[in-house]
Amino acid sequence: MIELGVNIDHVATVREARKGHEPDPVWAAVEAHLGGADGITVHLREDRRHIQDRDVRRLRELTHIKLNLEMAATDEMVGIACQLKPEMAMLVPEGRHEITTEGGLDVAGQEARLREVVARLAHEGIVTSVFIDAELPQVEAAARIGVRVCEIHTGPYAHAFYSRGRDAESPSVLAELDKIRIAGAAIRAAGMRFNAGHALNYFNVQPVAALPGIRELHIGHAIVSRAIFVGMRDAVAEMKRLMREAQCQ
Ligand SMILES: CC(=O)[C@@H](O)[C@H](O)COP(=O)(O)O
Ligand SMILES: NCC(=O)COP(=O)(O)O
């Protein structure tokens, strides 16, 4: 059954608006867990624009749910991950001026460096994932550096979905979905786990959740946005319902 990793970065975005103490990401993680989340994702960015070091420490100490730490492949972040020991660490690209993650990690262009990072994390028992575009050379490079999980960047699919008036049947949306499907088949053929995420929401999630062999979706901004109106528990439960429904179709 497909799993849902809830990214709670933007709970911390609200808190950082006042540099205060609420809303508390730990509370959000517990509520997400009670709503049916299978894991929690946080992106500890180099610029600490939302999630803070104390957040990841408190999440590890105070919650009992699978933790996926998104991080740049820097010595600083590897050191934090090796101390924190999340169940999974996902290597993502970071740009200081980006509003959110803009593209996948260029694994093919930095294999030697990333192979070393993956080995250091694996030595600590941490499963490593890479956030990549739906491109076969990136999948092949991920397999070569020894990662166990690939998360396919669903941003282009989500963008096409909205630019074509939320029409899941439009040729450009179907073309993006097919790229994800093909990348997913290559990921599974290489013996890696096929995950996906970025800009998925209640309107565009089901075609991705229905893809053959998809294991986990990482969704954050849309769930936190819905939680403002209905609460985190119900926002997560609704997303899980949509994902399960898609897999049964
Ligand atoms: C990799 C990905 O798509 C997100 O998890 C990413 O962390 C979004 O970055 P922000 O949470 O800073 O928007
Ligand atoms: N890796 C994707 C993720 O964790 C959530 O991304 P988004 O749903 O906040 O765009």
Give me the sign of the Cα torsion angle 81, 82, 87, 92: positive
Q: What is the pLDDT of residue 120?
A: 98
CATH number for the domain that contains residue 11: 3.20.20.70
Number of the ligand 1 atom closest to the C-alpha atom of 41: 5
C-beta separation of 105 from 131 below 8 A: yes
Q: Which ligand is nearest to the CA of 50?
A: 1
Global confidence as pTM: 0.96
Model confidence pLDDT, tens digit, residues 108-142: 999 999 999 999 999 999 999 999 999 999 999 99
- Ligand 2 in contact with 155 (CB < 6 A)? no
Instruction: Supply the DSSP symbol for 139.
Output: H
Q: What is the 3-state secondary structure (H, E, C) of 37-92?
A: CCEEEEECCCCCCCCCHHHHHHHHHHCCCEEEEEECCCHHHHHHHHHHCCCEEEEC
pLDDT(101) > 90: no
Q: Which helix (H) or strand (E) holds 144?
A: helix 136-145
Longest CA span, the chain: 47
Lowest mean pLDDT among 133-137, 164-168, 220-224: 164-168
Q: Which ligand is nearest to the CA of 92?
A: 1
- Ligand 2 in contact with 152 (CB < 6 A)? no
Number of the ligand 2 atom closest to the C-alpha atom of 7: 4
pLDDT class of 157 with cuts at 50, 70, 90: very high
Residue spans of beta strands (DSSP E) within the chain: 3-7, 39-43, 66-71, 88-91, 127-132, 149-153, 193-197, 216-219
Q: What is the pLDDT of residue 168?
A: 87
Token pair listed for 11: 């709970």
Q: Which ligand is nearest to the CA of 201?
A: 2
Q: Which residues line ligand 1 (CB under 6 A)?
A: 7, 9, 43, 45, 70, 92, 100-101, 131, 197-198, 220
Residues of the domain holding 162: 3-248
pLDDT class of 213 with cuts at 50, 70, 90: very high
CB-based contacts of 149: which residues, under 8 Å, 6+ apart?
Answer: 88, 90, 127, 128, 129, 130, 192, 193, 195
pLDDT(100) > 90: no
The β-bridge partners of 90 are 70, 129
In the reported structure, the alpha carbon of residue 223 is separated from the centroid of ligand 1 by a whole-number distance in angstroms of: 13
> What is the count of structural domains for the chain?
1
pLDDT class of 179 with cuts at 50, 70, 90: very high
Instruction: Supply the DSSP symbol for 5.
Output: E
pLDDT class of 106 with cuts at 50, 70, 90: very high
Q: What is the pLDDT of residue 164?
A: 80
Residue 4's SS3 state is strand
Average pLDDT, the chain: 97
115 annotated among ligand-binding-site residues? no
Mean pLDDT of all residues in 232-245 = 98
Model confidence pLDDT, tens digit, residues 3-47: 999 999 999 999 999 999 999 999 999 999 999 999 999 999 999
Picking from 188, 229, 239, 236, the residue whose alpha carbon sits closest to that of residue 8 is: 236
C-beta separation of 87 from 68 below 8 A: yes
Taking the C-alpha atoms of residue 106 and residue 97, their distance in angstroms, rounded to an integer, is: 18
User: What is the ipTM for the molecules in this complex?
Assistant: 0.91
Mean pLDDT of all residues in 82-94 = 97
In the reported structure, the alpha carbon of residue 8 is separated from the centroid of ligand 2 by a whole-number distance in angstroms of: 9
45 annotated among ligand-binding-site residues? yes
Model confidence pLDDT, tens digit, residues 42-68: 999 999 999 999 999 999 999 999 999
- Give the N- to C-terminal CA distance of the chain in Å, as an integer: 13
